[in-house]
Protein backbone atom coordinates (compact mmCIF):
# COMPACT_ATOMS: atom_id res chain seq x y z
CA UNK A 1 0.00 0.00 0.00
CA UNK A 2 1.41 3.36 -1.00
CA UNK A 3 -0.80 5.58 1.15
CA UNK A 4 1.86 5.97 3.90
CA UNK A 5 4.34 7.01 1.22
CA UNK A 6 1.96 9.68 -0.09
CA UNK A 7 1.24 10.92 3.42
CA UNK A 8 4.91 11.43 4.26
CA UNK A 9 6.10 12.54 0.84
CA UNK A 10 3.38 15.06 0.14
CA UNK A 11 2.21 15.92 3.65
CA UNK A 12 2.81 19.25 5.24
CA UNK A 13 5.67 18.38 7.58
CA UNK A 14 8.46 16.08 6.49
CA UNK A 15 9.30 17.52 3.07
CA UNK A 16 7.60 20.91 3.35
CA UNK A 17 10.83 22.82 2.66
CA UNK A 18 12.09 20.41 0.01
CA UNK A 19 9.84 21.47 -2.90
CA UNK A 20 7.52 24.28 -3.78
CA UNK A 21 3.80 23.93 -3.19
CA UNK A 22 3.28 23.88 -6.96
CA UNK A 23 5.87 21.11 -7.50
CA UNK A 24 4.43 19.14 -4.58
CA UNK A 25 0.92 19.35 -6.05
CA UNK A 26 2.10 18.32 -9.54
CA UNK A 27 4.11 15.37 -8.22
CA UNK A 28 1.31 14.31 -5.90
CA UNK A 29 -1.17 14.31 -8.81
CA UNK A 30 1.23 12.33 -11.01
CA UNK A 31 1.80 9.79 -8.25
CA UNK A 32 -1.93 9.46 -7.54
CA UNK A 33 -2.58 8.92 -11.26
CA UNK A 34 -0.05 6.07 -11.32
CA UNK A 35 -1.62 4.65 -8.15
CA UNK A 36 -5.14 4.71 -9.65
CA UNK A 37 -3.95 2.84 -12.74
CA UNK A 38 -2.22 0.23 -10.59
CA UNK A 39 -5.25 -0.23 -8.33
CA UNK A 40 -7.53 -0.61 -11.36
CA UNK A 41 -5.43 -3.41 -12.84
CA UNK A 42 -4.96 -5.16 -9.48
CA UNK A 43 -8.74 -5.11 -9.00
CA UNK A 44 -9.27 -6.60 -12.49
CA UNK A 45 -6.71 -9.30 -11.72
CA UNK A 46 -8.34 -10.07 -8.38
CA UNK A 47 -11.79 -10.42 -9.95
CA UNK A 48 -10.39 -12.66 -12.67
CA UNK A 49 -8.80 -14.95 -10.08
CA UNK A 50 -12.13 -15.26 -8.23
CA UNK A 51 -13.93 -16.77 -11.22
CA UNK A 52 -15.59 -20.20 -10.80
CA UNK A 53 -13.05 -22.05 -12.95
CA UNK A 54 -14.49 -25.44 -11.99
CA UNK A 55 -17.68 -24.46 -13.86
CA UNK A 56 -15.84 -23.48 -17.06
CA UNK A 57 -15.10 -25.69 -20.03
CA UNK A 58 -11.50 -26.12 -21.20
CA UNK A 59 -11.70 -23.32 -23.77
CA UNK A 60 -12.99 -20.85 -21.18
CA UNK A 61 -10.29 -21.85 -18.69
CA UNK A 62 -7.62 -21.43 -21.36
CA UNK A 63 -8.94 -17.97 -22.26
CA UNK A 64 -9.06 -16.93 -18.60
CA UNK A 65 -5.49 -18.15 -18.06
CA UNK A 66 -4.37 -15.95 -20.95
CA UNK A 67 -6.32 -12.98 -19.61
CA UNK A 68 -4.88 -13.46 -16.12
CA UNK A 69 -1.37 -13.72 -17.53
CA UNK A 70 -1.82 -10.44 -19.44
CA UNK A 71 -3.26 -8.70 -16.37
CA UNK A 72 -0.32 -9.92 -14.29
CA UNK A 73 2.08 -8.44 -16.82
CA UNK A 74 0.15 -5.13 -16.73
CA UNK A 75 0.30 -5.01 -12.92
CA UNK A 76 4.01 -5.78 -13.00
CA UNK A 77 4.60 -3.04 -15.59
CA UNK A 78 2.66 -0.50 -13.50
CA UNK A 79 4.75 -1.41 -10.44
CA UNK A 80 7.97 -1.01 -12.41
CA UNK A 81 6.85 2.36 -13.77
CA UNK A 82 5.87 3.59 -10.31
CA UNK A 83 9.22 2.57 -8.83
CA UNK A 84 11.11 4.17 -11.71
CA UNK A 85 9.08 7.37 -11.40
CA UNK A 86 9.62 7.57 -7.64
CA UNK A 87 13.34 6.84 -7.97
CA UNK A 88 14.14 9.03 -10.98
CA UNK A 89 11.54 11.81 -10.99
CA UNK A 90 10.42 12.24 -7.42
CA UNK A 91 13.51 11.45 -5.36
CA UNK A 92 16.33 11.99 -7.79
CA UNK A 93 18.29 13.82 -8.86
CA UNK A 94 17.53 15.06 -5.41
CA UNK A 95 17.59 18.61 -4.22
CA UNK A 96 16.55 17.37 -0.81
CA UNK A 97 18.66 18.00 2.26
CA UNK A 98 18.77 14.25 2.85
CA UNK A 99 19.55 11.53 0.36
CA UNK A 100 16.62 9.17 -0.25
CA UNK A 101 16.60 5.64 -1.59
CA UNK A 102 13.94 3.08 -2.32
CA UNK A 103 14.48 -0.65 -2.57
CA UNK A 104 14.80 -1.81 -6.18
CA UNK A 105 11.69 -3.35 -7.70
CA UNK A 106 11.87 -7.06 -8.45
CA UNK A 107 9.20 -8.66 -10.58
CA UNK A 108 9.75 -12.03 -9.00
CA UNK A 109 9.86 -10.77 -5.42
CA UNK A 110 12.82 -10.73 -3.08
CA UNK A 111 15.73 -12.89 -4.17
Upper half-sphere CA count for residue 42 (Cβ side, 13 Å): 10
Give yes or no for a contact between 29 and 23, defined as CB atoms under 8 angstroms apart. Answer: no
| CA torsion angle 102 103 109 111 (round to 10) | 170
pTM of this structure: 0.73
Give the confidence band of 12 by pLDDT, cuts at 50, 70, 90: low
Domain residue extents for the chain:
27-90
Percentage of the chain lying above the pLDDT 70 cut: 79
Q: Counting Cβ atoms within 10 Å, is residue 6 exposed (0-12), middle (13-18) or buried (19+)? A: middle
Beta strands in 1-111 (DSSP E): none
**DSSP 8-state assignment for residue 69:** H
Model confidence pLDDT, tens digit, residues 93-109: 655 666 666 777 878 75
Give 102's contacts (C-beta < 8 A, 6+ positions apart). 83, 86, 87, 91
Amino acid sequence: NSFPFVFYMFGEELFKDEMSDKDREIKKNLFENQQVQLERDVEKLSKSLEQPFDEYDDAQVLKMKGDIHKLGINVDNHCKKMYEWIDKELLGPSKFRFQHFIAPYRSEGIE
